[in-house]
């Protein structure tokens, strides 16, 4: 592929595969291609690799290997957690609680249960920084609440919810707790036990692993009704032949994650980016929690700009950013995350998410600060004409 002189600032959409990860995966795409369910030597080899990867992820999450179920993505992991746990508990109650800024993989699964399976769903709002207020969440609980799902870090703003504060309170009430940790895994240390969560979702391509690989932590003994049927894989919790190479790659990527060290570096860089932009461009506003956030994400609204044109002009200047969630490309709907935070629709449409990662350097950030004022001025001028 042709190499492009592009500054990639869209790591929340996806990350590149690390060379070490590709190297770890290669044998399982070539000579060790067996099906882990086969009894012969080829199968046993593949099974051993899947088991070893499960142990690695369990160790990192401070969980037990049998508590990890491999899935095809973060979306499938969120779906299995919500549909599976709610269906398995439906006899005990039919009330579910989630947050207004969740990813659609959570919100749509909740909506589906509400529309088609007789569940009631309460959606708890957030403050102007995108953080849920624990008191408000606890006030939404009812005697028949069986499950709460709340993400750890938001994909559009980077804002962190106080998961560790909420978990023990739900545990005390016997309510299941799922967290979508897709954006925080690899950045923020996560302990399933310390957070008091029963279900936790991750996705490999957000932490320099392959696309199409995810996992769900399911606390030992917790019944979860499968959403994929047709086999006894993953301890009867997720049918389908395991993607061995991707699973091996996900475990390798988790082992190589840089956690807080890199998170702190990127925190400084996003601060620098914000200060640089704010010092040079009038009429801009930062969205999200300034302190309680993953370090790599900066969400900025540019008054008087059309967001889509801004992204295109940034791209033409070699800067790859995003308007928010990748799933919204082609849609003119303003982000539901920003709407929940009270950002007016007009401003939400004029928003860019910069998400930084391993290859982001001081000089790249300086280049963005240098180029952005002229790009924004051009887009503003053009937006006024149309």
> Which residues are identified as catalytic?
327
- Binder of ligand PLP out of 10, 45, 67, 180 (CB under 6 A): 180
- Binder of ligand PLP out of 15, 98, 155, 179 (CB under 6 A): 155
Region 246-265 residues binding ligand PLP, contact defined as CB under 6 A: none
Distance between terminal CA atoms of the chain?
37
- Binder of ligand PLP out of 57, 105, 190, 218 (CB under 6 A): 105
45 touching ligand PLP, by CB under 6 A = no
Do 209 and 185 touch, CB atoms closer than 8 A?
A: no
Provide the minimum distance between the beta carbon of 137 and ligand PLP in the complex, in angstroms, as a whole number.
18
Going by the DSSP 8-state scheme, the letter that residue 83 receives in this structure is: I
DSSP-based three-state secondary structure for 99: strand
- What ranges in 190-231 are assigned the alpha helix state H? 192-195
DSSP-based three-state secondary structure for 96: strand
145 touching ligand PLP, by CB under 6 A = no
The alpha carbon dihedral of 212, 213, 217, 222 has a sign of positive
73 touching ligand PLP, by CB under 6 A = yes
Q: Please name the residues in contact with 196: beta carbons below 8 A apart, sequence gap of 6 or more.
A: 164, 166, 167, 168, 170, 171, 177
Do 4 and 10 touch, CB atoms closer than 8 A?
A: no
- Binder of ligand PLP out of 45, 78, 262, 263 (CB under 6 A): 78
Do 206 and 215 touch, CB atoms closer than 8 A?
A: no
| Per-position DSSP letters for 320-380, written without gaps between them | E-BSS-GGGTT--PPPHHHHHTT--HHHHTTEEEEE--TT--HHHHHHHHHHHHHHHHHHH
Residue 159 vs 301, nearer CB to ligand PLP: 159
214 touching ligand PLP, by CB under 6 A = yes
Provide the minimum distance between the beta carbon of 79 and ligand PLP in the complex, in angstroms, as a whole number.
9
Do 185 and 202 touch, CB atoms closer than 8 A?
A: yes
284 touching ligand PLP, by CB under 6 A = no
Closest CA to 352 of 75, 13, 99: 13
- Binder of ligand PLP out of 113, 150, 182, 284 (CB under 6 A): 182
CA distances from 32 to 48, 49, 233, 245, 316 (A): 11, 10, 19, 9, 43
Region 338-367 residues binding ligand PLP, contact defined as CB under 6 A: none
103 touching ligand PLP, by CB under 6 A = yes
Residue 113 vs 216, nearer CB to ligand PLP: 216
Q: Please name the residues in contact with 146: beta carbons below 8 A apart, sequence gap of 6 or more.
A: 85, 86, 89, 90, 92, 93, 94, 95, 96, 175, 176
Stretch that binds ligand PLP, among 71-79, 85-93, 254-262, 329-337 (CB under 6 A): 71-79
183 touching ligand PLP, by CB under 6 A = yes
Provide the minimum distance between the beta carbon of 326 and ligand PLP in the complex, in angstroms, as a whole number.
6
Stretch that binds ligand PLP, among 72-80, 243-251, 316-324, 374-382 (CB under 6 A): 72-80
Q: Which residue has the tokens 């300034």?
A: 290
Provide the minimum distance between the beta carbon of 362 and ligand PLP in the complex, in angstroms, as a whole number.
26
Which residue of the chain is nearest ligand PLP when measured via CB?
A: 74
Region 292-331 residues binding ligand PLP, contact defined as CB under 6 A: 326
- Binder of ligand PLP out of 7, 49, 67, 74 (CB under 6 A): 74
Q: Which tokens hold the place of 224? A: 């979860």
**Interface ranges with ligand PLP (CB under 6 A):** 73-75, 78, 103, 105, 151, 155, 180, 182-183, 203, 205, 214, 326
């Amino acid at each position: 592929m042709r190499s492009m002189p592009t500054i990639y600032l869209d790591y929340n959409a996806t990350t590149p595969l690390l060379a070490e990860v590709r190297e770890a995966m290669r044998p399982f795409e070539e000579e060790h291609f067996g099906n882990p369910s086969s009894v012969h030597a080829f199968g046993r080899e593949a099974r051993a690799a899947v088991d070893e990867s499960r142990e690695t992820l369990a160790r990192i999450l401070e969980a037990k290997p049998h508590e990890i179920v491999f899935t095809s993505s973060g979306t499938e992991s969120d779906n299995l957690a919500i549909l599976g746990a709610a269906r398995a508990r439906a006899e005990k109650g039919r009330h579910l609680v989630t947050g207004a800024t969740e990813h659609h993989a959570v919100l749509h699964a909740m909506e589906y249960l509400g529309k088609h399976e007789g569940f009631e769903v309460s959606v708890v709002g957030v403050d102007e920084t995108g953080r849920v207020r624990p008191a408000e969440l606890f006030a939404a609980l009812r005697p028949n609440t069986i499950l709460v799902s709340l993400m750890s870090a938001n994909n559009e703003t980077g804002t962190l919810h106080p998961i560790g504060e909420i978990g023990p309170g739900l545990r005390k009430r016997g309510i299941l707790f799922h967290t979508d940790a897709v954006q925080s895994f690899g950045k923020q240390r996560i302990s399933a036990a310390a957070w008091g969560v029963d279900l936790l979702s991750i996705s490999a391509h957000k932490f320099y692993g392959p696309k199409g690989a995810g996992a769900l932590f399911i606390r030992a003994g917790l019944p979860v009704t499968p959403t994929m049927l047709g086999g006894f894989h993953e301890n009867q919790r997720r049918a389908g032949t395991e993607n061995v190479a991707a699973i091996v790659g996900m475990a390798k990527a988790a082992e190589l994650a840089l956690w807080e060290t890199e998170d702190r570096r990127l925190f400084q860089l996003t601060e620098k980016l914000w200060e640089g932009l704010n010092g040079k461009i009038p009429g801009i506003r930062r969205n999200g929690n300034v302190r309680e956030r993953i370090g790599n994400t900066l969400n900025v609204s540019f008054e008087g700009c059309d967001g889509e044109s801004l992204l295109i002009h940034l791209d033409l200047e070699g800067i790859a950013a995003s308007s928010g969630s990748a799933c919204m490309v082609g849609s003119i709907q303003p982000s539901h995350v920003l709407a929940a935070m009270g950002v007016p629709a007009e401003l939400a449409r004029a928003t860019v998410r910069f998400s930084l990662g391993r290859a982001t350097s001081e000089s790249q950030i300086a280049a963005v600060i240098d180029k952005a004022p002229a790009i924004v001025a051009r887009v503003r001028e053009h937006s006024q004409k149309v």
